[in-house]
């Protein structure tokens, strides 16, 4: 195995879930690895936990992998979660309007802080 690999996807079969660990740069170079990991994880018919804590970079291909995993898992009736995702992942999901797929709700200003619904939360 070459030491020049900049990212990867590893599958861990735990008793109650399948953990898909992503590390390093998640981009088009991992397309085949991503497809194999998805197929293996979904065959187990258990909840899927996608661990992105060690991701240093993610491009549109990596985001597409996350969304495809969510869509196929949901269609199969499997829970797919993205716990403790780093900001480099969540910010891209939020920017694309995809954060709600993984329960990553963007922080919105709350009305009890003195703002009425529909009014901007700006200090005057």
Enter the pTM of the model: 0.78
Contact assessment for residue 99 and residue 106, using Cβ atoms and an 8 Å cutoff? yes
3-state secondary structure of 121: coil
User: pLDDT tens across 34-72, in order?
Assistant: 999 999 999 999 999 999 999 999 999 999 999 999 999
* Gyration radius of the chain's alpha carbons: 17
Using 50, 70 and 90 to split pLDDT, how confident is the model at 104?
A: confident
pLDDT band at 107 (very low <50, low <70, confident <90, very high): very low
Q: How many C-beta atoms surround the C-beta of residue 70 within 10 A?
A: 20
In eight-state DSSP terms, residue 115 is P
Question: What is the C-alpha to C-alpha distance for residues 47 and 50, in angstroms, rounded to an integer?
Answer: 10
Domain chopping of the chain, boundaries:
7-113
DSSP for residue 92 = H
pLDDT for the residue numbered 114:
40
Q: Is 72 exposed, middle or buried (0-12, 13-18, 19+ CB in 10 A)?
A: middle
Topology (CATH) of 7-113 = Transcription Regulator spoIIAA (3.30.750)
């Amino acid at each position: 195995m070459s030491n020049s690999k900049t990212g990867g996807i590893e599958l861990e079969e735990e008793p109650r879930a399948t953990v898909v660990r992503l590390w390093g740069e998640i981009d088009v170079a991992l397309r085949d690895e991503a497809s194999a990991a998805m197929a293996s994880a979904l065959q187990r018919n258990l909840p899927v936990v996608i661990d992105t804590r060690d991701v240093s970079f993610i491009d549109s291909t990596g985001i597409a992998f996350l969304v495809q995993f969510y869509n196929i898992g949901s269609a199969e009736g499997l829970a797919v979660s993205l716990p403790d995702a780093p900001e480099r992942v969540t910010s891209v999901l939020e920017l694309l309007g995809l954060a709600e797929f993984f329960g990553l709700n963007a922080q919105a200003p709350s009305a009890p802080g003195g703002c009425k619904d529909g009014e901007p939360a700006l200090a005057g």
